[in-house]
């Protein structure tokens, strides 16, 4: 899919389909935009009068052969109140419009930017929405696959936004990669296959990929990661992706991106209920996000070094599996009592965070589908954000707002760390039932040390639990946009 700026207007541009944006309440206090009534020969106004479509958020109206436009079809995307328009709302509206087109053959799509927002801001929101909505998780269907027909997207009224198009196209490619990896079933994407695909990706980009295999992990004394992996016949790996800018980089800043990649999580001996266990193929969404972000970063080439560390395992029960009550020694030398083998993500991240600091990363962000507790706290709409450094936390939050990804700051502190105390080891891998997302973050904080660090719990945002109106079902690619924005802002 190619995105292009176009100087024309909707009534001048021939395309298979066109998208326009409508509001239920406009800034001039009218309830309908007269342009759409004119573009459709009065049909849009008639539909609005019948209350079939009034520009409400998440709604979309498809009109065939609009009389006032050369496009074959017009989709009006509802944005809700014009005064409440945000980047997230515009992204959702663009996605809903593409989903409304469905399987209709649409090779060329013209999109008119809404009046009001900064052109670059609007371009990035629209590209995010269109690119995500045009995808489908049906790669393994032998028949009935939905054809992805959109080849060219013309962005009208966006002069001077060339850099925004470039950045958003790179992010869209990274998000698509992250979704593809996260949607893959565990039998087709065990850790070694994830490593192979990542290494292949790096060949065509300014990236280097190093894969640490089981013996190397033993030599590095990564006992927490190896303990999780020992129940599976699939060997563990740790993937290290490095981007280094040409010329002089910003002094003293080395961004480290750490992503949990449990390619399938049964819970181990502390086995999960069978209902919905198939979603645990997405338990590597954090790692997929960091790999996708590195794809975007390599294409955009910021002036700082970035290193991604992605520990990957399969968590299975069996005769060799880790047991509740086991004690493991991490790369840092700290010991952990494993009270629950289903709290495995924090164990592999512990060794990965330590290793990232050893590689020279000065600022860390990790992303993980870590706890169901964050879903209880924030639902499916916001990623939970924890941090040990206020300035760094605020920088990541600012990047998320600019990227259009919803994140919410959560508490950390000694009160949560105390809940992980155990008489038999330095720290336990779980605390009591309540505040589980906070104690999980407190566990990771032990291994971030004094390095400025942010933890993103994406358990509620990594995939769509229900079929949305503006995006395909399955993985979301959350985190790619924020990490790319963060690297560029630094």
pLDDT above 90 covers what percent of the chain? Answer: 80
Annotated catalytic residue 146: no
The answer to which of 29-38, 49-58, 418-427 has the lowest mean pLDDT is 29-38
Q: What is the DSSP letter of 117?
A: S
| pLDDT > 80? residue 249 | no
Annotation marks residue 81 as catalytic: no
Has residue 279 got a pLDDT over 70? yes
Mean pLDDT of the chain: 94
For 95, residues 6+ apart whose C-beta sits below 8 A from its C-beta are 129, 130, 132, 133, 469, 470, 471
Residue 404 pLDDT > 70, yes or no? Answer: yes
pLDDT at residue 102 tops 90: no
The domain over range 171-489 is classified in CATH as 3.40.980.10: no
Q: Rounded mean pLDDT of 390-410?
A: 97
Stretch 407-422: mean pLDDT: 97
Which helix (H) or strand (E) segment holds residue 335: the answer is strand 335-337
Tens of pLDDT, residue by residue over 459-473, are 999 998 777 889 989
Q: Is the per-residue pLDDT at 31 higher than 70? A: no
Cα-based distances in Å from 204 to 245, 304, 375: 16, 20, 38
Residues 6+ apart with CB under 8 A from 308: 239, 240, 241, 242, 256, 257, 258, 259, 290, 291, 293, 294
pLDDT average, residue stretch 281-293: 98
**Do the Cβ atoms of 56 and 22 come closer than 8 Å?**
no
Q: How many residues does the chain have?
A: 490
Active-site entry in 272, 299, 334, 401:
272
Question: In 3D, which of 226, 215, 452 has the Cα closest to residue 331?
Answer: 226
241, β-bridge pairs: 209, 308
Residue scoring higher pLDDT (336 or 467): 336
Q: 480: part of which helix (H) or strand (E)? A: helix 480-489
pLDDT of residue 50: 87
pLDDT at position 105 is 86
DSSP string spanning 219-288?
HTT-HHHHHHHTTSSSPPEEEEEEE--SSPPPTT--EEEEE-EEEEE--TTSPPPSTTGGGGGGGGHHHH
Q: What would the mean pLDDT of 217-246 be, rounded to a whole number?
A: 97
* pTM assigned to the model: 0.95
CATH of region 2-134: 3.40.220.10
Instruction: Give the mean pLDDT of 433-451.
Output: 97
In this predicted structure, the answer to whether residue 32 has a pLDDT above a threshold of 80 is no
Nearest to 150, CA basis, from 81, 95, 104: 104
Domain limits, the chain: 2-134, 171-489
Q: Cα torsion at 91, 363, 183, 191 (round to 10°)?
A: 170
* Lowest-pLDDT range of 44-48, 76-80, 459-463, 484-488: 44-48
* pLDDT higher than threshold 60 for residue 22: yes
Q: CB–CB of 433/343 below 8 Å? A: no
**Can you spell out the DSSP letters for 132-165?**
HHT--S-TT-SS-PPP----EEEEET-TT-HHHH
Task: Select which of 89, 179, 331, 346 is catalytic.
Answer: 346
């Amino acid at each position: 899919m190619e995105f292009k700026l176009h100087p024309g207007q909707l009534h001048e541009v021939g395309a298979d389909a066109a998208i326009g944006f409508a509001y239920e309440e406009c800034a001039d206090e009218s309830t309908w935009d007269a342009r759409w009534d004119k573009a459709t020969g009065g049909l849009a106004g008639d539909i609005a009068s019948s209350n079939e479509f009034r520009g409400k958020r998440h709604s979309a109206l498809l009109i065939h052969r609009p009389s006032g436009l050369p496009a074959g079809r017009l989709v009006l995307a509802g944005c809700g109140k014009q005064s409440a328009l945000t980047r997230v709302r515009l992204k959702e509206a663009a996605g809903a419009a593409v989903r409304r087109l469905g399987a209709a053959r649409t090779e060329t799509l013209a999109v008119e930017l809404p009046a009001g927002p900064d052109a670059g801001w609007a371009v990035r929101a629209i590209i995010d929405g269109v690119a995500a909505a045009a995808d489908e998780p049906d790669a393994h269907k032998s028949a009935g696959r939905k054809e992805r027909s959109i080849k060219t997207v013309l962005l009208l009224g966006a002069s001077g936004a060339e850099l925004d198009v470039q950045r958003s196209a790179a992010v869209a490619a990274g998000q698509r990669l992250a979704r593809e990896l996260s949607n893959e079933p565990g039998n087709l994407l065990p850790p070694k296959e994830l490593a192979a695909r990542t290494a292949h990706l790096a060949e065509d980009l300014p990236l280097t990929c190093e894969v640490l295999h089981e013996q190397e992990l033993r030599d590095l004394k990564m006992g927490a990661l190896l303990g999780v992996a020992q129940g599976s016949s699939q060997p563990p790996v740790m993937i290290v992706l490095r981007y280094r800018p040409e010329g002089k980089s910003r002094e003293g800043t080395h961004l480290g991106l750490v992503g949990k990649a449990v390619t399938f999580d049964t819970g181990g001996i502390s086995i999960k209920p069978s209902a919905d266990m198939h979603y645990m193929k997405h338990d590597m969404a954090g790692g997929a996000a960091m790999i996708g972000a590195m794809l975007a970063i390599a294409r955009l080439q910021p002036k700082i070094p970035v290193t991604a560390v992605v520990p990957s395992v399969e968590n299975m029960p069996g005769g060799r599996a880790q047991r509740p009550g086991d004690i493991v020694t991490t790369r840092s030398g700290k010991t952990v009592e494993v009270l629950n083998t289903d709290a495995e993500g924090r164990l592999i991240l512990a060794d990965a965070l330590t290793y990232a600091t050893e590689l020279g990363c000065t600022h860390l962000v990790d992303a993980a589908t870590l706890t169901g507790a964050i879903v209880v706290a924030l639902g499916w709409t916001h990623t939970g954000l924890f941090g040990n450094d206020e300035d760094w936390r605020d920088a990541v939050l600012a990047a998320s707002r600019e990227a259009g990804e919803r994140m919410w700051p959560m508490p950390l502190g000694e009160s949560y760390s105390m809940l992980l105390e155990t008489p038999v080891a330095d720290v336990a891998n779980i605390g009591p039932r309540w505040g589980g997302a906070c104690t999980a973050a407190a566990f990771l904080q032990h291994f971030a040390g004094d390095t400025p660090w942010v933890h993103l719990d994406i358990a509620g945002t990594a995939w769509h639990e229900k079929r949305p109106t503006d995006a395909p079902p399955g993985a979301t690619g959350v985190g790619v946009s924020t990490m790319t924005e963060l690297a560029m802002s630094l």
